[in-house]
């Protein structure tokens, strides 16, 4: 099996290589591709070194799969070229997510959305993934009517430049800024670009992607995104209103039975999800589960996940694993 990783020198690309090695792909033929300035660099993978090649070289290598984490413009330009060669593309950018012909997939929820003819598969936004996974079984049981979500997103979600800005500011040094204001000892109510309606692109992703993954355009969603001075792990305060009544005991059972979800909820013992707990882990952590007493059928949850793993790399590799298993069934 031949797998290309496009954008291999970036934060998410590096984690993708790590997750590939961890999840049984260490002995496969891995091609690492990046921009022209990175061609020739060596990247450690498992117990060997890989040499970075151009995206064009990767396209012509006749790969079985290509996993993209190189930004929307790169995906728009090159993903179709891989697809024309018969390569199945799993794309981590926002470029294809809302395309009607491209499935947007969290494997535990909607792998069945992938059809044999699909050559490009979209990986959802990091904040969307952790929220919908935590809510998926609850939605099946009670039907989600409305979601109000506030996210507290780490700087790793922005990229290397943002991490460097935080580190420099912590040390009192000057450096290029990823954000319009300082991030150290600060919170920015600003994720992505502002739209005409006053929301940001990151907030709109939570709305549009959740509806697409749950295949329900009637769910009402209001999102606020904040960037916080944390190096890894996104946190979310999620308020959900359901169509049906529920018992908290049943809510816990449904959360505990959700594949990929870990319930940490003993607040009297100070046990609840926090970003540092999620570092390097693939689970979505859920806690502070409680009834919303201000409305009928309302529930509050606190949801945390490693945004570089389940929020990006792990979800993409899980899609790959499912595709490989399905292909073996056909043989």
Using the 8-state DSSP alphabet, how is residue 282 labeled? Answer: -
Instruction: Select which of 63, 139, 234, 262 is catalytic.
Output: 234
CA 283 to chain centre: 12
How far is the CA of 262 from the CAs of 35, 57, 58, 122, 152, in angstroms?
38, 41, 38, 25, 19
Query: In angstroms, rounded to a whole number, what is the distance separating the alpha carbons of residues 108 and 88?
Result: 20
Q: What are phi and psi of 40, to 5 degrees?
A: 100, -20
**Active-site residue flag, 279:** no
Instruction: Select which of 63, 126, 139, 262 is catalytic.
Output: 126
- Which among 321, 330, 319 is positioned nearest to 114, based on CA atoms? 319
In this structure, are residues 297 and 244 in contact, taking their beta carbons and an 8 Å threshold?
A: yes
**Active-site residue flag, 126:** yes
In this structure, are residues 238 and 289 in contact, taking their beta carbons and an 8 Å threshold?
A: no
The alpha carbon dihedral of 234, 239, 243, 247 has a sign of positive
Query: In angstroms, rounded to a whole number, what is the distance separating the alpha carbons of residues 291 and 246?
Result: 9
In this structure, are residues 12 and 313 in contact, taking their beta carbons and an 8 Å threshold?
A: yes
Neighbours of 195 (CB within 10 A): 11
Neighbours of 296 (CB within 10 A): 8
- Which among 161, 154, 164 is positioned nearest to 275, based on CA atoms? 154
* Burial tier of 184 (Cβ tally within 10 Å: 0-12, 13-18, 19+): middle
- Written as six digits, the tokens of 34 are 């990046």
Give the residue numbers marked as catalytic. 126, 234
């Amino acid at each position: 099996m031949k797998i290309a990783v496009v954008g291999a020198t970036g934060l998410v690309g590096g984690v993708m290589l790590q997750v590939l090695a961890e999840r049984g792909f260490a002995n496969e033929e891995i091609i690492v591709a990046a921009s022209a300035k990175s061609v020739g660099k060596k990247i450690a993978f498992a117990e060997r070194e890989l040499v970075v090649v151009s995206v064009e070289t990767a396209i012509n290598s006749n790969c079985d799969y290509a996993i993209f984490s190189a930004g929307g413009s790169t995906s728009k330009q090159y993903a179709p070229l891989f697809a024309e060669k018969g390569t199945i593309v799993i794309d981590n950018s926002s470029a294809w997510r809302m395309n009607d012909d491209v499935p947007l997939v969290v494997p535990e929820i909607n792998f069945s959305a992938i059809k044999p003819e699909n050559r490009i598969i979209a990986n959802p936004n990091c904040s969307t993934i952790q929220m919908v996974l935590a809510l998926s079984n609850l939605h099946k049981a009670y039907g989600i009517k409305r979601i109000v979500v506030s996210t507290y997103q780490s700087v790793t979600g922005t990229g290397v430049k943002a991490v460097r800005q935080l580190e420099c500011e912590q040390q009192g040094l000057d450096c290029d800024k990823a954000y319009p204001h300082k991030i150290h000892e600060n919170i920015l109510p600003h994720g992505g670009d502002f739209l005409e309606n006053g929301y940001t692109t990151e907030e709109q992703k939570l709305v549009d992607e959740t509806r697409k993954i749950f295949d329900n355009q009637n769910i009402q969603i209001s999102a606020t995104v904040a960037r916080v001075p944390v190096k890894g792990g996104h946190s979310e305060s999620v308020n959900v209103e359901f169509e049906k009544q529920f018992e908290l005991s049943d809510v816990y059972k449904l959360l505990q039975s959700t594949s990929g979800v870990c319930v940490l909820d003993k607040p009297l013992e100070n046990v609840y999800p926090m970003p540092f707990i999620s570092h390097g882990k693939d689970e979505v952590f859920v806690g502070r589960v409680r009834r919303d007493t201000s409305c009928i059928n309302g529930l509050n949850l606190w949801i945390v996940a490693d945004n570089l793993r389940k929020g990006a790399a792990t979800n993409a590799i899980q899609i790959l694993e499912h595709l490989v298993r399905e292909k073996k069934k056909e043989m």
